[in-house]
Every structure is written in structure tokens, then in C-alpha cells.
């Protein structure tokens, strides 16, 4: 699944191997533990946390102000539909009535209205709205509830009766108004995912044979069929893991990635770059290939981070313990200028013949006055995104050039060839092999 996603991306976007972005700590007016961050756009965001703290920015995190939440409960999640309309969930374990206190604002958090969730001893971990009326919450001990009146009334969802159906819900995501996913579980017992393809009218839990032993903390939906989740087991060196489906949540694959710790959330900068915070491990893991491989790095100032969000490909924020707030900076934009310059002067021609039987010629042109000490590479990929050949690899090549692609040992089908200079992909074209 991920190889296909990568292939589609470089076919339509001229795939480039960028380095990952970076993070820096920024000051906020609280030292309370921050549990959740949400941005309505690149400028306007909120973060919530312990003792009822809500902080707000209108300038992409350059400055933050404290908002009056009207509660001293710990606020665990926040969601805004736009710059004005938002909701938050706070939990009360200490004073009767025990349960969830819901917060709502219609003016960007200038005023927050509070209302008790009607059922006691239900503790809502996450909240999401699809529009001003239709929303979802998930929580403990086994709550997956919907509102169709903006949060005035809530109703338990219809869930299948599998053994894993009635576990705590930690996160809910919808791809559109029909396809949605949720995740959760209990540590050292079972991790669970749920799926719906009819707008939440019915939810189905993961098959027990596919379920991991620990919670799934966060999800990212590529499309209605392809989803990736984050989790793991910090005990006994099992470590962080991802869980994936490529068939709409019917089957899932769980994979330990070889890094100690537990991933508490996951979000994507773009189609390829993903980040997941590791909480007490005081590090991030990141992927530059849509979650196929992962690398770990320390968080700035070794902060403990639990939640991360990217409102777009240029902005990102992460929050955690002791008022930790991190801001994301994308990779050096000078790479974009290099790519544009190379694409303007280098030409990759269509192979001839095409379709071809056995072998074909791939030609290219580089101006005589083009100065570059990087190597030139032509790679060939099959339809699944697997590399099947490297045809040329040399430096200081200028003028017209060509290579022969011999495919006599390959099966019929569609193949893609890509010209790169250094680590910059210049162009990709399609060819058809017919024996």
C-alpha cells in the first residue's frame, strides 16, 4: 500500500527526496500539562490541558493568550470547525458528579459554555465535528457517541458485538461523511480499531486475529481504504508500532518498527512526511516514505510530547507536559529553487519505441553549459513502486544522452522511469512493456 502511494505521488508531483523538517520550543503562558492542540487554519489555534487551561493564538504561535474555560477539570481534547465554532472535552475524576464536562464556544473561545455529559462515569477522550450539527465523541469505559444537534443530545453508536467492540475509544477520524475510523483499546489487553462506511450508522471492530496487545493512539486516513495508526508497547522492548489497513478496515497489519517506546499520536505533513510523539521517551519518530520506515530523534529540550497537528504542509504544532509547545519548521526551502532550476534546463524524453518488446531507448538532454558535480541516475519502477533497474550513474554529464533499458526478464505491464540529479528527481515518464 505505501509503495503504491509513493509511486502515485512522484508520478503526479515529480517526487523529490527532501530531508525532514525540524522543531523548536516556543513560549506559552502556562506550565500546566497540555493534552491537545488544534488549529482551524495556519494562523488560528488552541491548546488545552490540566486544571482547565485553554490557550489561544491568532498569529501562528508567535503569541498565546489564556482563555477562561469556566472549569478546573483537566481538558483532554479540543476541536474547532472554523475560527469561531469549537468544542472541548474535560474529565472529572475527583468531584461528584464524576464524568465529562463538555465545553462549547461560538466566538473563538472568548466565551466557553459548559454542560455535563448526561451519563455519569463516562470519560470522553476525544471529540470531533463534521459540521455544526453532527459530531462524535469517544471515551472510557466504552463510549462511541454521536450528536446531530450540535452537542445538545448524544446517542451511543450501533457497534457490532465482537469481543473487541466495547473497549475505550481514544481517537476518531472521518475521511468524508460516510467513511470513518476510530481507535483505542487497553494497555496489555488489546488494541482496537473500528470502521464505518455508512456515516456511523454501524461500526465494526477489528478482527481479534489482527488486534495488537496494546492501545492504538492515533490514526491518519489516506483515503477511504488506506489508513495508518500509531501505537506500541514500551514493555519488554517490543517498542513503537504502526497498524495499517488497505481494504477499508476489514483487515489490519500490525508492525513493530524497532524503536523503544510508544507512539501516542500520528499526523502527516504531506503525502510522505509523518511524525509521531513518543511521550515519556522524550523523542519523536518520523517517516519520509508514508510510514514504511521510521527514524527517532530527541524532542527539543527533551520535552515530553503527546499530541501533534499539521494544519498544512508548512505549519505544525505539538504539545506535552509542563506547558511544552513545539513549532514545526519545514525543510530548507532552498531545495525548491534547485528543483525548479533543474527542471527548467533538463529534458527527459519519452522512450522509443513505446510500447516496446524486450528493450527500449531512454533519451535525455542537459545543456552544455550546465555545471553540476552531482551524479545523474535513471531508475525504473514497476507499477507497485518497486525499483527494477538503475540504468545510468555518472557525474559531469552534459549534452544529449541515452540509455538502453533491457526488460527481457521482466513481465508485461506498465513501468515508470525517473531521471534524478543528485537526490533531486527531475522528471518521471511512463512506458509499456509487451512481449
pLDDT tens by residue, 61-114: 999 999 999 999 999 999 999 999 999 999 998 888 899 999 999 999 999 999
The pLDDT, as a whole number, for residue 393 is 63
Which residues touch 292 (CB under 8 Å, ≥6 apart)?
2, 3, 6
Kindly list the distances between the CA atom of residue 399 and the CA atoms of 117, 143, 366, 367, in Å, as whole numbers in the listed order. 71, 66, 5, 5
State which of 332, 360, 381 marks the end of a domain.
332
In angstroms, the CA 326 to CA 155 distance is: 36
Answer whether residue 11 shows pLDDT above 70: no
Residue 240 pLDDT grade (very low, low, confident, very high; cuts 50, 70, 90): very high
241 has a pLDDT exceeding 50: yes
Q: What pLDDT score does 341 carry?
A: 65
Grouping H, G, I as helix, E, B as strand and the rest as coil, residue 186 is strand
The pLDDT value given to residue 137: 98
- CATH assignment of the domain containing 127: 2.130.10.10
Q: Do residue 158 and residue 277 come from a single domain?
A: yes
Span 169-222, pLDDT tens digits: 999 999 999 999 999 999 889 999 999 999 999 999 999 999 999 999 999 999
- Cα separation, 125 vs 141, in Å, equals 10
Share of the chain above pLDDT 70, in %: 89
Q: Which domain holds residue 420?
A: 335-433
Buried/exposed 367-378: b ≥16 CB within 10 Å, e otherwise:
eeebebeeebbb
Q: Are residues 76 and 184 in the same domain?
A: yes
pLDDT greater than 50 at residue 373: yes
Q: Mean of the pLDDT values across residues 139-147? A: 95
Task: Check residue 368 and give its pLDDT.
Answer: 66
Residues 253 and 322 in one domain: yes
Considering the domain architecture, whether residues 299 and 425 belong to the same structural domain is answered as: no
Flag whether pLDDT at 2 surpasses 50. no
Number of folded domains that form the chain: 2
* Coil, strand or helix at 152: coil
The reported pLDDT for the residue numbered 119 is 94
Same domain, 171 and 200: yes
Same domain? For 240 and 142 the reply is: yes
Considering the domain architecture, whether residues 355 and 275 belong to the same structural domain is answered as no
Residue 9, pLDDT score: 38
Fill in the DSSP letter of residue 71: -
Can you give the pLDDT at residue 128?
Answer: 97
Q: Between 326 and 373, whose confidence is greater? A: 326
Q: Do 103 and 182 share a structural domain?
A: yes
Taking the C-alpha atoms of residue 317 and residue 303, their distance in angstroms, rounded to an integer, is: 13
Same-domain pairing of 35 and 103: yes
**Domain co-membership, 78 together with 114:** yes
Task: Look at residue 391 and tell me whether its pLDDT is greater than 50.
Answer: yes
Instruction: Specify whether 260 is located in the same domain as 385.
Output: no
Q: What is the pLDDT of residue 349?
A: 92
Percent of the chain with pLDDT over 90: 69
Q: Please state, in angstroms and rounded to a whole number, the distance separating the CA atoms of residues 8 and 291.
A: 15
Same domain, 275 and 356: no
More confident residue, 353 or 346: 353
> Which has more pLDDT, 422 or 286?
286
Average pLDDT of the residues in 124-136: 97
- 289, 311, 332: which is the final residue of a domain? 332
Residues 6+ apart with CB under 8 A from 155: 145, 146, 147
CATH number at residue 342: 2.60.40.1930
* Residues 251-308 pLDDT 10s: 999 999 999 999 999 999 988 899 999 999 999 999 988 898 999 999 999 999 999 9
Q: What three-state secondary structure class fits 50?
A: helix
User: What pLDDT does residue 16 have?
Assistant: 39
Q: Of the residues 305, 332, 359, which one is the last residue of a structural domain?
A: 332
pLDDT at 339: 58
User: Region 404-412: what's the mean pLDDT?
Assistant: 92
Amino acid at each position: 500500500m505505501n509503495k503504491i502511494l509513493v509511486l502515485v505521488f512522484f508520478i503526479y508531483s515529480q517526487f523529490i527526496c527532501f530531508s525532514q523538517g525540524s522543531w523548536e520550543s516556543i513560549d506559552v503562558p502556562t506550565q500546566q500539562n497540555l493534552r491537545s492542540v488544534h488549529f482551524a487554519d495556519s494562523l488560528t489555534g488552541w491548546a488545552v490541558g490540566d486544571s482547565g487551561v485553554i490557550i489561544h493564538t491568532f498569529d501562528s504561535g508567535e503569541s498565546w493568550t489564556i482563555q477562561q474555560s469556566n472549569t478546573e477539570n483537566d481538558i483532554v481534547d479540543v476541536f474547532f470547525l472554523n475560527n469561531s465554532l469549537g468544542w472541548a472535552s474535560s474529565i472529572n475524576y475527583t468531584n461528584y458528579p464524576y464524568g465529562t464536562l463538555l465545553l462549547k464556544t461560538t466566538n473563538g473561545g472568548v466565551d466557553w459554555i459548559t454542560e455535563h455529559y448526561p451519563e455519569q462515569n463516562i470519560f470522553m477522550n476525544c471529540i470531533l465535528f463534521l459540521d455544526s450539527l453532527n459530531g462524535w465523541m469517544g471515551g472510557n469505559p466504552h463510549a462511541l457517541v454521536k450528536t446531530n444537534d450540535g452537542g445538545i443530545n448524544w446517542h451511543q453508536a450501533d457497534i457490532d458485538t465482537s469481543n473487541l467492540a466495547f473497549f475505550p475509544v481514544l481517537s476518531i477520524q472521518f475521511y468524508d461523511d460516510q467513511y470513518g475510523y476510530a481507535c483505542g483499546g487497553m494497555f496489555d489487553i488489546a488494541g482496537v480499531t473500528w470502521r464505518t462506511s455508512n456515516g456511523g450508522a454501524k461500526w465494526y471492530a477489528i478482527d481479534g486475529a489482527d488486534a495488537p496487545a496494546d492501545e492504538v493512539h492515533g490514526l491518519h486516513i489516506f483515503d477511504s481504504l488506506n489508513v495508518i495508526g500509531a501505537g506500541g508497547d514500551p514493555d519488554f522492548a517490543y517498542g513503537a508500532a504502526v497498524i495499517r489497513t488497505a481494504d477499508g478496515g476489514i483487515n489490519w497489519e500490525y508492525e513493530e518498527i524497532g524503536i523503544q517506546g510508544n507512539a501516542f499520536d500520528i499526523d502527516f505533513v504531506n503525502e510522505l512526511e509523518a511524525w509521531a510523539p513518543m511521550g515519556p521517551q522524550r523523542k519523536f519518530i518520523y517517516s519520509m516514505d508514508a510510514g514504511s520506515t521510521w527514524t527517532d530523534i530527541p524532542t527539543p529540550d527533551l520535552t515530553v510530547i503527546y499530541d501533534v497537528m499539521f494544519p498544512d504542509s508548512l505549519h505544525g504544532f505539538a504539545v506535552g507536559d509542563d506547558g511544552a509547545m513545539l513549532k514545526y519548521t519545514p525543510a530548507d526551502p532552498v531545495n525548491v529553487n534547485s528543483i525548479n532550476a533543474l527542471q527548467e534546463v533538463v529534458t527527459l524524453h519519452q522512450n522509443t519505441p513505446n510500447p516496446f518488446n524486450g528493450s527500449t531507448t531512454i533519451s535525455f538532454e542537459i545543456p552544455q553549459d550546465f555545471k553540476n558535480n552531482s551524479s545523474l541516475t535513471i531508475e525504473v519502477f514497476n507499477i507497485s513502486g518497486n525499483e527494477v533497474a538503475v540504468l545510468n550513474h555518472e557525474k559531469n554529464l552534459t549534452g544529449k544522452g541515452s540509455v538502453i533499458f533491457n526488460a527481457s526478464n521482466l513481465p508485461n505491464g506498465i513501468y515508470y522511469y525517473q531521471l534524478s540529479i543528485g537526490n533531486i528527481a527531475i522528471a518521471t515518464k511512463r512506458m509499456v512493456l509487451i512481449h
